[in-house]
Structure 1
């Protein structure tokens, strides 16, 4: 089968550090290739997969609206000219990219990893279309856009072969937070819990650049980074995530918003590291309470759950997650949608 994957420019594929969806697309491209399919990628400059790459646009997350309009026109022209060359177009980018082929026979999957614009779904499905399946990364995420069309839940994935299971950690092993240092991610809750429990806390993630989140970082987080108990590691690559997650006794995930999925949770589980997470968004779909972590509601409950963290089998923690979220399984789920 000939497959075309599409992603917005902004971050190259695979991403050097931050870029959850970009990392997903790279994994699926390589897995589809391993399964014997001919895979092409339409994405930003400097993107690399084993198959053919068509580059367009700019790798700049702050690029202008005019630049994004030019990118849209480029994709429209590309798809119109090449619509008969592919059996499947799997789009992780803008829904509007698909307009030229909406009513063509080529199979189409539109995948979402964040809350969905209901207006966009209603607009597209008001046009003539066929062979189009919408997917989102959790049941929660599906509910944000399921107002028209055919919807399926297909969870996000990681390549578990890239992560090392650590069955045992030190008795004084640190806690870890991994993610953007934005207020909605709740890093301050993780810091409070670490201080109250007397634990070290490793923090990996990007310093925010939006005004409100930068102010949050400067006032609520940075003053606590003593590099002794509260240790800021910076943005981490895959090797570093594997290293630091592996030595941690738990990943703290105290989100203050409805997270559509939360890739860091399964990255932690791949290392055998249990997840203690606030019950928001997709958390209850990913964390099996008392099996690979704990689902809690506030800092006090997070503190209490730390007392039971050693009861969780790190080997079982990884096994449960691998059976559900390994890229080999998730890629097959996508392909099964078009049979």
Structure 2
């Protein structure tokens, strides 16, 4: 199958540091190539991929030092390049939310769009009603709740390469928080859980410009004043195995409708259980009492974090390999690709013969018979 993968341009593929969507695209693309498919990736030039790369920008936007840049212009240029090559592919798989809809409406039947973000934003219903010819993938069933009418083809959960993470049969006794410092991720809850247990907490987190005030006024004072808390900062893939594998548990104390939450399966890949609040996708990802615990309040969270070390780390890693590998994700997508391709017409329809030809006579023979 000839497949195009179209990624956002904000991060490299895979990201150098923090980044979710581009990381998923990187691993899906490589897994599809490993399964024998002809894959073309449209991305920035710093992408690392097994696929054929079509570079549409010199580097990813976020780490580009240029002081002035336009993310809209960059994405429009990429979409123009994809459209010019559209006939080369059996299927074009977009990961760019809805920005491509007006450009590709005439060939929507050969596209698939994975929705990676939250769908409870004010202006989205109008978009997904107006362009309902595009087949959509949700990354969790819960993600669909704000837009139940949208044209979903399937839910496909994310996956990660098993070989990217080292399984740690034993932890080093601390709790971990990995993600963004933002109000919806609730790092304050992670600090409270560790403090109430008297356990060390390591926080590997990115501070976006939009969250700088929250960091400076709410979280940093809790970190600076607590000897149990170590703020590590933003880390890359090569550091995650040691960071997550050394933890008794990953704390995922979110307070928003998380569409998926890659860090949960990254922890499982290291054999580390996850303590997650019941929000968004977490009940779909965590098997309560097996790969972690789903909790509803702080009392449950503290108790769960205190007993998480009792879970079987080997079994958690085995569960990751079965459910959450990049290969498992790619196979789920291939099922959807096949269903979409089967719906498309094969070639041009053959015109029905004229009524007088049904008996086998040609127009010429019919005319001759009439004059005989």
TM-score w.r.t. the length of structure 1 is 0.90
Compared CA separation, residues 161 and 135, structure 1 to 2 (3 A): same
Compared CA separation, residues 76 and 244, structure 1 to 2 (3 A): closer
Give, in angstroms, the shift of residue 72 of structure 1.
Answer: 4.6
Q: Give the match for residue 100 of structure 2.
A: 97
Q: Deviations over 1:79-132 (max 9, x none)?
A: 33212101111100142324443333863110011123222211112xxx4xx4
Q: Deviations over 1:219-266 (max 9, x none)?
A: 222123358520011111112111011111011111111111111111
Give, in angstroms, the shift of residue 9 of structure 1.
Answer: 1.4
Higher mean C-alpha displacement, 54-63 vs 36-45: 54-63
Instruction: Give the aligned length.
Output: 330
For residues 78 and 85 of structure 2, what CA distance do their matches in structure 1 show? 10
Q: Is the 8 A contact 2:21 2:116 kept in 1?
A: yes
Q: Give the match for residue 70 of structure 1.
A: 73
Give RMSD over aligned pairs.
2.3
1:225 correspondence with 2:228: no
Larger radius of gyration: 2
Q: Is the 8 A contact 2:138 2:144 kept in 1?
A: yes
Give, in angstroms, the shift of residue 302 of structure 1.
Answer: 1.1
Q: Give the match for residue 207 of structure 1.
A: 207
Q: Deviations over 1:23-80 (max 9, x none)?
A: 1111111111111212111123422322222222563359999934433542443233
Partner SS state of residue 26, structure 2: helix
1:159 correspondence with 2:136: no
Q: Is the 8 A contact 2:79 2:100 kept in 1?
A: yes
Q: Where do 1:64-143 residues align within 5 Å? A: 67-104=70-107, 107-116=110-119, 117-125=124-132, 129=133, 132-143=134-145
1:313 correspondence with 2:312: yes
Q: Where do 1:139-288 residues align within 5 Å? A: 139-170=141-172, 173-210=173-210, 213-226=211-224, 228-288=227-287
Partner SS state of residue 95, structure 1: coil
Compared CA separation, residues 236 and 123, structure 1 to 2 (3 A): same
Higher mean C-alpha displacement, 271-280 vs 221-230: 221-230
Partner SS state of residue 12, structure 1: coil
Q: Is the 8 A contact 2:14 2:48 kept in 1?
A: yes
Partner SS state of residue 11, structure 2: coil
Compared CA separation, residues 73 and 237, structure 1 to 2 (3 A): closer
Compared CA separation, residues 333 and 27, structure 1 to 2 (3 A): same
Q: Give the match for residue 353 of structure 2.
A: none
For residues 206 and 44 of structure 1, what CA distance do their matches in structure 2 show? 22
